[in-house]
Amino acid sequence: RPEWWRHHDHGFGGWHYWNRFNDFDYGYWWGAPAWPALTNWFAWPTPVVWNQPYYYDYGPGGNVVYENNYVYVNGERVASADEFAESAAALATVPPPPSEEVVAQAEWMPLGTFALSSGENDTEPRRVIQLAVDREGIISGTLYDVETDEAQAIQGQVDKETQRVAFRVGESEDIVFETGLYNLTQEEAPVLMHFGTEWTENYLLVRLDEPQEQGAGTAQE
């Protein structure tokens, strides 16, 4: 809601879109991007042409599978389990911005607001994630725990070659989420959570609609 951010102050890390809230109605951050809009959004120094989107589906029946301590993507062995977790952690580690002026000039596209579900029996997820991406592929956002009323910053980035997305939550050094950029344009997005190199868990992001009772046209405070 428009007043939510005023009552849930939390650290945003180096990159954030907090400074942009006064420029957009709060409902803007609930938006769902179309894939063609994302392909034209980024301003990387070396242009990247994505001929098709990559969808990441983790676990049995998916295209990202762990077998005998190796990870296979679309049937091809890409890394050991440890190497795969380490690469996600590296992708989620974002260099700090050179100055606050650079942060203030960043432009952000909303990826949407999602409930984070741990499985089919998790019918009322307690955690909500809001995500956005800037033109350099930096991921920013917030994880909110409904039960504790606590919010934590999200920070990560997009791999421009593989379309893989990885991000960290709060101050944790070990917990890293990964999914695909195309996944985040869909109504449901499979997510893999890494707990260091020790183990992984499968989650699902379920897109939420903007609360209708709040209406539109109210400026973000």
> What's the pLDDT score for residue 219?
37
pTM of the model: 0.89
Q: Could you give the CA distance from residue 20 to residue 51 in angstroms, rounded to a whole number?
A: 31
Q: Could you give the CA distance from residue 156 to residue 9 in angstroms, rounded to a whole number?
A: 20
Size of the chain in residues: 221
Tens of pLDDT along 86-137? 999 999 999 888 888 888 888 999 999 999 998 777 888 899 999 999 999 9
Q: 133 Cβ partners below 8 Å, 6+ apart? A: 38, 41, 108, 109, 111, 139, 140, 158, 181
